[in-house]
Amino acid sequence: MKKPRTLDKATVKYLRSLAHALKPVVRLGNNGLTAAVTKELDGALDHHELVKVKLSESEKEARDAQLDALCKSVGAVSVQQIGHTATLFRRNNKKPVIELSLAKR
């Protein structure tokens, strides 16, 4: 996997505004991060670039660890986390979906 680059504050703010209306497309179950979950999330990020994920852990520290492992497994950046819901972003360099230049305005 490619190492994700960090995003500037304006881009994160823009991505958060876009994520507001999104529904979670991937939900982690009792088994946590499995190969199937990673494959599904990888496909969703390729197609949408910005996705919401429902985390399964009940403790905050465990959710943070789960989110970190999830980001590393697919090469994504966490844009925000509110409770059990996290928003991830990964740029599709071949076919970009989100126009990031709008974040600089």
Rounded Cα gap, residues 67 and 61, in angstroms: 10
Total-model pTM: 0.89
Overall average pLDDT of the 2-18 stretch: 81
Residue 69: the pLDDT is 93
> In this structure, how many other beta carbons lie within 10 angstroms of the beta carbon of residue 2?
9
CATH says 9-94 is which class? alpha beta
pLDDT band at 100 (very low <50, low <70, confident <90, very high): confident
